[in-house]
A = this chain, B = another copy of it.
């Protein structure tokens, strides 16, 4: 039975082309449980493949024909073949993280075909340190990046002894009704897979309107980008990141202890999020300097921020908070790490204040662009806004603070893969998990050369910020 596709999802499907696949992804690293045998990864794969029932989100695919009057609809896949979606892969020698990131880059480059449900998961063995990886991709028409990371976590448990757990795409026994024990732990354990697709986009209702395009919203956005409100109007310099992109991707990932970032924040009177932005700023400065293409004026990052529902004026499926966005000057023109951190802290504060003084319509506009840049940024360009309103997107999505497991396998880290778009060739998304700040950098391979170098620069910047803040000895 066909069901309508909401306008936001349709916009993501239709905005897609070979150079701009519209799926988000996640890389998870697991440690095998004690006593795992040689065939452990295959057993893990088998458990993921042999699910009793596929959750609704994972069984529908987009469909369009004369019979649907050319309209896109969701249709259940009558010939659903789990082996097409869940795959068992291995890394070439020597099985370093480098080979893993290469595989993820390649997997993230390929579009999901509309003829099947829009997701894939790869259980990956062959890391020489014995860890097991899982790369998952899901179309943005099904879930946004934040929901995707939550979905990945939703099937995990804090109980290392629990077994018989289904995969993300499996319907969890009793999940529809819910139970007292599950509710107690619902923040991490409720099954998002059972939530109807539309709910994932409720917070994006406004985007749906924008995707339908005409009218007041685009006008507001356009005005907002041009006027002097600092949360909207910063003029971003042209950089190598702000060009047309190709369809090839490079993914880089690494994590740092949250404790180190917290230490820097405490000593400097800034937030962990400010420190994350300062890490990105310093790394971008070093990276662009090395390529000899650092612009004179500072880079501007679009940073999604939480808004409470009252402030945003929109209800959210996630229960209270909507996401707005702030444009932050990254101070990449300043050579001193401490100065950059201080500038960023100020810019972020001003941005948030500006956001709180905006009219509801302006907030809605920022909320929309904060959540669906992939479809709204091209719209802005179509509206004659040719200068980039920002240079890159940096998101920081809070995750669980405790250790989680899947059938006894400990989740060691979880790294988001996002969507580079034309004019915005690099996306940095971080998520915190179990005391680690996990960075995922997704870029167009051609437009953002040597993306992996950024990991080294990020690491340098943590040390530089610690030194500047006097947290560790020189």
A residues apposed to B, CB below 8 Å:
17-19, 38-39, 41-42, 79, 81, 83-84, 87-94, 102, 106, 109-111, 113, 115-116, 125-126, 246-248, 445
Contacts and interface: CB of A to CB of B under 8 A. Distances in A.
A330 to B, nearest CB: 30
5 contacts: A38-B93, A81-B247, A88-B92, A89-B92, A126-B126
Contacts of A247: 79, 81, 84
Please state the number of chain copies in the assembly: 2
Nearest to A244: B79
A272 to B, nearest CB: 36
Contacts of A116: 18
A126 B248 contact: no
Residue from A79, A102, A109 whose CB has the most chain B CB atoms within 10 Å: A79
Nearest to A114: B18
Given A79-B19, A247-B79, A90 B87 contact: no
Contacts of A246: 79, 81
B87 A106 contact: yes
Nearest to A115: B18
Given A18-B116, A79-B19, A79-B247, A38 B126 contact: no
Ranked 8 nearest A-B pairs via Cβ: A90-B90, A90-B92, A18-B115, A81-B248, A92-B125, A88-B92, A79-B246, A90-B91
Contacts of A87: 106
Given A42-B93, A90-B91, A90-B126, A84 B109 contact: yes
Contacts of A106: 83, 87
Nearest to A123: B92
Contacts of A17: 115
A93 B110 CA distance: 25
A94 B18 CA distance: 36
Nearest to A18: B115
A88 B98 CA distance: 13
A90 B88 contact: no
A126 B42 CA distance: 15
A41 B445 CA distance: 23
Contacts of A18: 113, 115-116
Contacts of A19: 79
A20 to B, nearest CB: 12
Contacts of A248: 81, 83-84
A227 to B, nearest CB: 37
Contacts of A91: 90
Contact of A41 (B83, B93, B102): B93
A304 to B, nearest CB: 31
